[in-house]
Structure 1
Amino acid sequence: MHAIRLHAFGPAENLTYEETAAPEPAQGQVRVAVAAAGVHLLDTALREGMQGPLPELPSLPTVPGREVAGTVDKLGEGVPAHWLGKRVVAHIGFAPGGYAEQTVTEASRLHELPADLDFAEAVALIGTGRTTMGILQFTDLTPESVVIVPAAAGGIGTLLTQYAKRRGATVIGLAGGPEKVARVRANGADLAVDYKNPAWPDEVRTYLKEQRDDRRATVVFDGVGGDAGLAAVDLLGPGGTHVVFGWSGKGLHDGEALTFTEEELAERGISQVNVLGPTMMQKAGGDNPVRTLELAALAEAATGHFTPAVQRFPLADAAAAHRALENRGTMGKVVLIP
């Protein structure tokens, strides 16, 4: 089979497309013929040799990738026979191996897919969708809500917009550049603005004054931080909530989540919820909170409430996919197609 292998930590060019032996499933595992493999921003950090939230870096050489969808083509010992030939999606956890034509994972991680769900969209749901459902646990959106979504053209931003609109909220989506702004508008945002335009906050204030009876924003779903995140928080009215789940933005606090002291929050009259780390899973609760959120995301798709945005790259072009993701040149979930 063919796979993407990393022999040394470093730049995207270190990802090489090679022929290698197909993996064999161990007891309790299945082998999946991969039809789509997800690319996560964490993958780019691991490629550079940054451990991040993982207990340790993978030993080299390694095949990156932790999100896959495809068809089960071989069963390990003890796996029920009904899984053979099933269309499935799985987050394979800390064990890498997704950027390949075939990979193995525990049968307990599998979700069977309906025939009408695209493999690439399924990959988006198992990671990005799961995170989105985790974020949404911390809000109660209503038709009175005014929601600001920085990075609204991204995978999570797309789903947050769809969910908020279904709840009747007013959604203001931020994106960088005309093409992304158009995508946000087509996704249903009431107002889509280009955060590269320094005057974008005034555009939002004018819209709210003229179209929404001068209401203030009630929720900011902030996965970017930086200047854009701070400007979005400045638009929150008293009683508003700043939900923090990332820090991909540039400018102030570059490289870290945008947080405020208790005194700053009191002065602004807002609250802040940081859903990073274990907070999201603790909120989901249960014996397997990860699977609970995965099932919730897949259920949203099954009912037509979630339509993930996906940008596809050939498996052989994994290095290009990494560069595009790092340079904010993508829209939606980045997926590799073998």
Structure 2
Amino acid sequence: MRAIRLHAFGPAENLTHEEVEAPRPGPGQVRIAVEAAGVHLLDTAVREGVQGPLPELPALPTIPGREVAGTVESLGEGVAALWLGKRVVAHLGFAPGGYAELAVTDVDRVHETPANLDAAQAVAMIGTGRTTMGILQFARLGPDSVALVPAAAGGIGTLLVQYAKNAGATVIGLAGGPEKVAHVQANGADLAVDYNDPTWPEKVRAHLGGRHATVVFDGVGGDITPQALAFLGPGGQHLVFGWSAQGRQDTTRHFVEGVSEQVLGPVMMRKAGGPSPVRTLELRALTEAAAGRLTPAVHRFPLAEAAAAHRALQTRATIGKVVLEP
């Protein structure tokens, strides 16, 4: 089979498209003919040799990728025959192996793909959608809400805008560049502005007409955070789930009385509850997409162009979830 392998930590060019031996499913596992593999910022960190949230870096050479969708084409011992031939999606956990034509995972990780989703959309919901559902557990959204979404053209941002609009909220989306701003506007935001324009806070202020934001969904950090927090009023929420721009800042001086800040991480899993909180959030995400309430944005690359996909993701040249298609 063809796969992307990493032989040495370093730049995106270290990702090579090669012929490798196909994996075999062990007991309790299925092998998936991959139609789409998710690319995550964590993948770029691991490629560079940064451990991040992983227990440890993978042994080299390795096939990166932790999110796949496709069709079950082989079963390991003990797996029910009904899985054979099913369209499925799975998050592989900390085990790599997704950037390939074939991938193996435990059957307990697999979900049947909703009929109205293609493989790339299913991959977006199993990873990005799962995280979005985790974030939204903490958000108070309704017809009186004003949600401000930095990075609104990203995979998570796209879904947050849709969910907040479905709840009746006024949604302000921030994005970098005309193409991304157009995407945010078309996605349903009441106002989409370019955060590269230094006058963007004035445009938001004029649109709100004296109203305050009630929630800031912050996965960006950097200089945008204090500017966004200036719009929060008493009782507002600052929900932090990343700082992809320039790192996390001290935000306390920007808060008015009664504003709360929550830094989300493992707490999302605890709140989801159940015997498998991760699976709970995955099911919620897939259910929202199957019902047509959430539609992920997808930026597709051929599998052989994994290096280009990594570069585009790291330079913010993508819209929505980045996927590789063999």
TM-score bracket, normalised by the shorter chain, equals over 0.9
Quickly say closer, same or farther: Cα 1:299–1:38, change in 2 above 3 A.
same
Moved >4 Å (runs of 4+):
265-268
Equivalent in the alignment of 1:84: 84
> How much has 1:115 moved relative to structure 2?
2.8
Q: How many residues matched?
A: 326
Question: Structure 1: which amino acid aligns with 2:264?
Answer: V
Give yes or no for the alignment of 1:217 onto 2:207.
no
Secondary structure of the residue that 2:223 maps to in structure 1? helix
**How far apart, CA to CA, are the structure 2 residues paired with 1:328 and 1:85?**
36
Quickly say closer, same or farther: Cα 1:52–1:25, change in 2 above 3 A.
same
**How far apart, CA to CA, are the structure 2 residues paired with 1:92 and 1:267?**
42
Alignment of 1:119-198 (within 5 A): 119-198=119-198
> Is the contact between residue 265 and residue 271 of structure 1 (CA under 8 Å) also seen in structure 2?
no
- What's the % identity of the aligned pairs? 72
> How much has 1:269 moved relative to structure 2?
3.6
Give yes or no for the alignment of 1:290 onto 2:264.
no
> How much has 1:161 moved relative to structure 2?
0.3
RMSD between aligned residues: 1.0
Question: Structure 2: which amino acid aligns with 1:289?
Answer: P
> How much has 1:259 moved relative to structure 2?
4.6
Equivalent in the alignment of 1:228: 224
> How much has 1:270 moved relative to structure 2?
1.0
**How far apart, CA to CA, are the structure 2 residues paired with 1:166 and 1:112?**
25
Equivalent in the alignment of 1:246: 242
Deviations 1:247-269 (A, max 9, x none): 012xxxx23x34534xx476554
> Is the contact between residue 115 and residue 290 of structure 2 (CA under 8 Å) also seen in structure 1?
no
> Is the contact between residue 220 and residue 243 of structure 1 (CA under 8 Å) also seen in structure 2?
yes
Alignment of 1:239-318 (within 5 A): 239-249=235-245, 254-255=246-247, 257-261=248-252, 264=253, 267-276=256-265, 278-318=266-306
Quickly say closer, same or farther: Cα 1:293–1:16, change in 2 above 3 A.
same
> How much has 1:116 moved relative to structure 2?
2.6
**How far apart, CA to CA, are the structure 2 residues paired with 1:112 and 1:328?**
31
Q: Please list every run of 5 or more consecutive structure 1 residues that lacks an aligned counterpart in the other structure.
A: none
Deviations 1:185-230 (A, max 9, x none): 0000000000000110111001111xxxx21110000000111122
**How far apart, CA to CA, are the structure 2 residues paired with 1:93 and 1:269?**
38
**How far apart, CA to CA, are the structure 1 residues paired with 2:195 and 2:19?**
43
TM-score, with structure 2 as normaliser:
0.98
Q: Please list every run of 5 or more consecutive structure 2 residues that lacks an aligned counterpart in the other structure.
A: none
TM-score, with structure 1 as normaliser:
0.95
**How far apart, CA to CA, are the structure 1 residues paired with 2:254 and 2:272?**
26
**How far apart, CA to CA, are the structure 2 residues paired with 1:246 and 1:268?**
24
Alignment of 1:105-120 (within 5 A): 105-120=105-120
